[in-house]
Structure 1
Amino acid sequence: MDKNPEVIEKFTKSIYKGQQWFFTHSTEEVADSIIKYFPGTDKETIMTVIDNYKNIDAIAHTPEIKEENLNRLMEIIADYDANLMQKKPEFNKIVDNSYAQKVVK
C-alpha cells in the first residue's frame, strides 16, 4: 500500500463503483452480468440468490470494512476450520479504511 497508493485507490474506486452498480440495477441485470461465472446454474436460481442478498442487506454499500463485519467473517472461517485462523489479528493492524473513506467522499 505504501509503494503503490494510486493502485490501491483505483482498486477501491472500482469496488465502490461495483457496489453502486449493484444497488442501482435490477436483479435481472445483475444476474445477466454474472451468470457466466456460474456455469450450470440457471438464471432463476441466480436471481433468487441476488434477491436474498438484497433482502438481508448482505452486500456492503461502501468499501469500508467495519470491525464487527470482519469479526463475523473470521468467526465463519474459524467455524469452518479452526486451523485456518489460529489467532485473530487486531483489526487496526490489518485494515486501513482511509482509501475507502476518500473514495466515498
Structure 2
Amino acid sequence: MVFEYILKQNGLDPQKDMNIDQSIDFGSTAAAFSGGQGDFTVEFEPSATALEKEGAGYVVASCGVDSGYVPYTAYSAKKSFIEKNPEIIQGFVNAMQKGMDYVNSHTAEEIAKIIKPQFKENDLDTITTIVKRYKDQDTWKDNLVFEKDSFELLQDILDSAGELKARVDYSNLVVTDYAENAKK
C-alpha cells in the first residue's frame, strides 16, 4: 500500500502504468526477484540487504523516506486496561523510549552488536549494514509520540488503497500522554 501510495503521489497509476505482481507470497518476493521475476521488488530488511550481498540487486530507494513518516509499529491496548494499569503502560513506554534513546545515541556497529542475538540468521556485517541504512535514512524518531500528521498519512495510505471505510478522528483513537511523559 505504501509503495502504491508513493507511485500515485508521483503521478503514476499502479494499475495502468505498470504491472505489479501481487500474487507472490510476501516472504518469497526476494527469491522470485533474484530468480528473474520482475525488474523491481519491494523488500523489507534483511531481504533488501541480502539481495545486494548476493549481487542480485541494489537498493535504489526507500519507501519509508519517500512516503513520509509512516508509523509502522503502534502498540494497542484496551481503554479499560490502560485505565486500570497506568503504571504498566508507562513502564512499557519508558522502556521503549530507552531503546529509542539508545539507537539515537550509538553507532550502527554498537547497535548491531547488541541486537545480534535476536537475528541469529544474519551475520554482524549484514545487521550493521541494515542499522546504518536505517540511521542514514533517519528511520528512528527521537520519541514515541504518535503524531497527528503521521496518523493522517497512515489513513491517507489506507484510503488510497481502498482499505478504509471511514476516517477516524485522531483524538478518539490515539493516546500520547505516556509517550509525552517518557520523552521528558
User: Shorter-chain TM-score: which interval?
Assistant: 0.7 to 0.9
Paired residue for 2:99?
Answer: 18
Correspondence 1:103 to 2:182: yes
Q: Could you report, residue by residue, the CA deviation over 1:7-65 in whole angstroms, capped at 9, with x for unpaired residues?
A: 11111111111111111222111111112222221211111111111111111211111
Give the equivalent residue in structure 2 for 1:92.
171
1:69 aligns with 2:150: yes
The TM-score, its normalising length taken from structure 2, stands at 0.48
Matches of 1:18 and 1:71, distance apart in 2? 26
Give the CA RMSD over aligned residues. 2.3
1:69 Cα deviation from its structure 2 partner = 2.2
Larger Rg: 2
Q: Scaled by the length of structure 1, what TM-score is found? A: 0.79
Offset, 1:92: 1.5
> Please, which runs of 5 or more residues in structure 1 have no aligned partner?
none
Q: Name the structure with the higher helix share.
A: 1
Q: How many residues are aligned here?
A: 102
CA distance in 1, matches of 2:154, 2:124: 28
Work out the CA distance in 2 between the residues paired with 1:39 and 1:29. Answer: 17
Q: Which has the higher contact order (CA 8 A, sep 6+)?
A: 1
Structure 2: gaps (5+ residues): 1-81
